Amino acid sequence: MKKALITGITGQDGSYLAEFLLEKGYEVHGIKRRASSFNTQRVDHIYQDPHIENARFKLHYGDLTDSSNLTRIISEVQPDEVYNLGAQSHVAVSFESPEYTADVDAMGTLRLLEAIRFLGLEKKTRFYQASTSELYGLVQEIPQRETTPFYPRSPYAVAKLYAYWITVNYREAYGMYACNGILFNHESPRRGETFVTRKITRGLANIAQGLESCLYMGNMDALRDWGHAKDYVKMQWLMLQQEQAEDFVIATGVQYSVRQFIEWSAAELGISLRFEGHGTDEVGIVTAIQGNNTPALKEGDVIVRVDPRYFRPAEVETLLGDPTKARERLGWVPEITVQEMCREMVATDLQEAKRHALLKKHGFAIPVSTEN
Ligand code: NDP
Ligand code: GDR
């Protein structure tokens, strides 16, 4: 039985990858951080009681900032594959906490690679690094492919640049099977609530149900190449099953604006929107309502506004990936379109909003977090 170790198992990708590897028959180990409250919601459905015989899902306390802990876990597990998905992954937050982001995202990757080498596992353990389209930042070529020069635009992207190159370096220096998946944005109903797609689907579902009144956005002109996380974790595995380690761009090859994603999400709820004004004065106004998902709304309501607080000190305006190499060499094509993904995300968030609204109606209001 193959053993995999996933850092970031409690995150969006970690949870889908763990499901995928368990289905493939792997023994799956994951590193979770100590927190003051439960933080395993995304993997609770696959949790296995460690007391049962032959449990194939095991969590270890750890942190990417802690070398001795990482070395001990790798020594205990002796993994065939390590997937380094753990990261301070929020670009805007990396401007607030640049040093911590570098420690986790850049040095954390080095710590893992060194642990594998130090333990003499460099010929046994295959290593996947969660690299990112943010490396392209101020884009030097459209679309972006494996050979496009990097130009990172945030402390997050600069940290990930180090992680990218140290992965290449350990492959070249020590003959390790180590590779980078340069993944473009991928989302799902499990996406963190403060990333733009989830903020939109959750925010609009809450507005439709009368739990919030307005969605405050940053740069709605930003263009992204969005795919579904479920499609993308398959690639992470596939990249470790080749004869030779190589780096791959994973993307859909289509881009849309943040504003378009707002329009689709609103339409899924039966809301037609008109955008008016420019820059920080731009607003989204309800022009028509269909169906019965929006008891709290009426035509003319302003439900989208711009708050400069969400602008970034340096922005990545446009990203568009060219996944030709992945398609030709690994036979990979994304199965879920961005519109299907949007529908799934809105449906999930609407269900949750309806639950909250019902509780509120009967006097059992649970506060809905709107901090984002
Ligand atoms: P998430 O933010 O959902 O998950 C990040 C994970 O990393 C969580 O499990 C988090 O733990 C964990 N983590 C954070 N800090 C530490 C630390 N100090 N030590 C150990 N673990 C830590 O990210 P995604 O699942 O979306 O992304 C997975 C990886 O892929 C990340 O590295 C991200 O940068 C990268 N990436 C993501 C893309 C995307 O569009 N989703 C695109 C390209 C790359 P906790 O739950 O406790 O916070
Ligand atoms: P990104 O994702 O920065 O691309 O990083 P995010 O969803 O945060 O932003 C995408 C674009 O939307 C614009 N935007 C807003 N973003 C947020 N979060 N909140 C807002 O209110 C808002 N308004 C507009 C942003 O400015 C940006 O242009 C994600 C992360 O998952 C990274 O870890 C990963 O490496 C990259 O995707 C690929």
- 17-40 pLDDT, tens digit each: 999 999 999 999 999 999 999 999
Summarize pLDDT for 320-330 with one digit per residue, the tens: 999 999 999 99
Task: Dig out the tokens for 288 from the structure.
Answer: 């028509």
Rounded Cα distance, 183 and 238, in Å? 14
pLDDT band at 209 (very low <50, low <70, confident <90, very high): very high
Spell out the residues 6+ positions from residue 166 whose beta carbon is closer than 8 angstroms to its own. Answer: 106, 109, 110, 113
Residue-averaged pLDDT of the chain: 97
pLDDT score of 365 more than 80: no
pLDDT of residue 98: 98
pLDDT of residue 367: 76
Looking at ligand 1, which atom is closest to the CA of residue 192?
Answer: 3
pLDDT score of 371 more than 90: no
Share of the chain above pLDDT 90, in %: 95
The ligand with the least distance to the CA atom of 13 is: 1
pLDDT of residue 320: 98
DSSP annotation of 80:
S
Just list the catalytic residues.
132, 134, 156
pLDDT of residue 369: 76
Whether a cis peptide bond, with omega within 30° of 0, leads into 143 is: yes
**Which residue has its alpha carbon closest to ligand 1 atom 4?**
11
Q: Is the CB of 265 under 6 A from ligand 1?
A: no
The structure's pTM equals 0.98
For residues 268 and 250, the answer to whether their CB atoms sit within 8 Å is no
Compute, in angstroms, the gap from residue 219 CA to the centroid of ligand 1.
Answer: 23
Task: Dig out the tokens for 229 from the structure.
Answer: 């996380």
The three-state secondary structure class of 44 is: helix
pLDDT score of 85 more than 90: yes
Sign of CA dihedral 65, 67, 72, 75: positive
Mean pLDDT of 96-118: 98
The ligand with the least distance to the CA atom of 133 is: 2
pLDDT score of 245 more than 80: yes
Task: Dig out the tokens for 198 from the structure.
Answer: 């989830």
**Mutational pocket test of ligand 1: of 13, 105, 224, 319, the residue with most ligand atoms within 8 Å of the beta carbon:** 13
pLDDT of residue 316: 98
Q: Is the CB of 89 under 6 A from ligand 2?
A: yes
**If you write DSSP's letter for every residue of 309-365 in order, what string do you get?**
GG--SS---B--B--HHHHHHH-----S-HHHHHHHHHHHHHHHHHHHHHHHHTT--
Compute, in angstroms, the gap from residue 158 CA to the centroid of ligand 2.
Answer: 16
Rounded Cα distance, 239 and 332, in Å? 11
Compute, in angstroms, the gap from residue 164 CA to the centroid of ligand 1.
Answer: 15
Catalogue all structural domains in the chain, each as residue range(s) with its CATH number: 3-183 (3.40.50.720), 196-223+257-315+337-362 (3.90.25.10)
The three-state secondary structure class of 194 is: coil
Sign of CA dihedral 146, 130, 115, 2: negative
pLDDT band at 250 (very low <50, low <70, confident <90, very high): very high
Rounded Cα distance, 31 and 10, in Å? 8
The ligand with the least distance to the CA atom of 341 is: 1
Summarize pLDDT for 263-320 with one digit per residue, the tens: 999 999 999 999 999 999 999 999 999 999 999 899 999 999 999 999 999 999 999 9
